[in-house]
């Protein structure tokens, strides 16, 4: 699996397929990216579970915080890790001990741990690193285009008017080879040349 660039189809199949998402490192502080990614995904219909031992007893959008993945009372499809790269491995190890295990490990924008990814993939899980599910959902649905972002998708169908709790279609035609952004290619080139 090439984690420098993902096909849109790969990301699309994950976001279309998962229903429940546990967010490790979710923050109740409403200016933190984890807070508004959580809120966005909840508004788009995902069953969101906030995981953060520091906030047990509180709730995020009406969902009570749990201390750890083991404390979740139902199977989880995806674990979205909002932690620095150095804290990824223990979360992945904990995820792999769950029964049933999750289908997807997603590491947030800026987070990447190739060894943890390898471990999860060896156990049959799909892995995404250094991406934000909110951004990817907004991009593939073209909702993000309202900000001038290149969604790298086309559609000749009438756009939906997004409302609360509404799932948007992610099945627009992708272009640009369906690869992820130039940044990854460039970062790679940069490492190679300097």
Partner 1 sequence: MTDRVPGFSTLAVHAGAQPDPTTGARATPIYQTTSFVFNDADHAASLFGLQAFGNIYTRIGNPTNAVLEERVAALEGGTAALAVASGHAAQLVVLQQLMRPGDEIIAARKLYGGSINQFTHAFKAFGWNVAWADPDDIASFERAVTPHTKAIFIESIANPSGSITDIEAIAAVARKAGVPLIVDNTLASPYLIKPIDHGADIVVHSLTKFLGGHGNSLGGIIVDAGTFDWAKDNKYPVLSEPRPEYHGIKLQETFGNFAFAIACRVLGLRDLGPALSPFNAFMILTGIETLPLRMQKHCDNAKAVAEFLSGHAKVSAVNYAGLPGDKYNNLQRKYAPKGAGAVFTFSLKGGYEAGVNLVSNLKLFSHLANVGDTRSLVIHPASTTHSQLDDDAKVKSGAAPDVVRLSIGIEDKEDLFADLDQALNA
- Region of 46-54, 97-105, 117-125, 179-187 interacting with partner 1 (CB under 8 A): 179-187
What is the rounded (10 degree) CA torsion for 132, 113, 52, 29? Answer: -40
Q: How far is the CB of 143 from partner 1 (least distance, A)?
A: 5
Q: Does 27 bind partner 1 (CB under 8 A)?
A: no
Interface with partner 1 includes 62 (CB under 8 A)? no
Other Cβ atoms within 10 Å of 48 Cβ, number: 23
Residues facing residue 34 across a β-bridge = none
Tokens 């008017």, located at residue = 161
If the CB atoms of residues 67 and 182 are measured against partner 1, the closer one turns out to be: 182
In angstroms, rounded to a whole number, what is the distance separating the alpha carbons of residues 174 and 187?
23
167 scored as a contact of partner 1 (CB under 8 A) = no
CA distance 51 to 67: 6
Mark the segment that binds partner 1 (CB under 8 A) among 49-57, 86-94, 96-104, 124-132.
124-132
- Judged by CB under 8 A, the stretch of 16-24, 71-79, 94-102, 143-151 that binds partner 1 is 143-151
CA distance 152 to 176: 6
161 forms part of the interface with partner 1 (CB under 8 A):
yes
What is the arrangement of strands in the sheet containing 20-24, beginning at the earlier edge strand? 47-51, 20-24, 78-81, 104-107, 126-128
Residue 84 lies near partner 1 (rule: CB under 8 A): no
Minimum separation from the CB atom of position 170 to partner 1 (A): 11
132 binds partner 1 (CB under 8 A): yes
Question: What stretches of 1-144 adopt beta strand conformation (E)?
Answer: 20-24, 47-51, 59-60, 63-64, 78-81, 104-107, 126-128
Residue selected from 45, 53, 75, 177 as contacting partner 1 according to rule CB under 8 A: 177
39 binds partner 1 (CB under 8 A): yes
Q: Is 3 in the site for partner 1 (CB under 8 A)?
A: no
With the C-alpha atoms ordered 124, 126, 129, 134, is the resulting torsion angle positive or negative? negative
- Interface residues with partner 1 (CB under 8 A) are 7-9, 30-31, 33, 35-36, 39-40, 109-110, 130-132, 135, 138, 142-152, 154-161, 164, 171, 173-178, 181-184, 186-187, 190, 193-194
């Amino acid at each position: 699996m090439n984690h420098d660039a993902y096909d849109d189809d790969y990301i699309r199949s994950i976001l279309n397929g998962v229903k429940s998402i546990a967010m490790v490192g979710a923050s109740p502080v409403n200016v933190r990216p984890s807070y508004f990614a959580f809120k966005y995904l909840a508004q788009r219909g995902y069953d969101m579970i906030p995981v953060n031992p520091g906030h047990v007893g509180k709730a995020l959008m009406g969902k009570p915080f749990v201390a750890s993945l083991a404390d979740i009372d139902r199977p989880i499809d995806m674990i979205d890790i909002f932690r620095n790269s150095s804290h990824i491995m223990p979360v992945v190890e904990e995820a792999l001990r769950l029964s049933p295990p999750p289908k997807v490990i997603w590491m947030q924008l800026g987070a990447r741990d190739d060894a943890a990814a390898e471990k999860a993939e060896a156990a049959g899980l799909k892995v995404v690193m250094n991406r934000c599910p909110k951004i990817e959902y907004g991009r593939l649905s073209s909702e993000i285009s309202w900000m001038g972002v290149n969604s790298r998708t086309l559609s000749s169908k009438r756009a939906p008017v997004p409302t609360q709790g509404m799932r948007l279609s992610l099945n627009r035609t992708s272009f640009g080879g369906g690869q992820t952004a130039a940044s990854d290619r460039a970062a790679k080139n940069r490492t190679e040349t300097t």
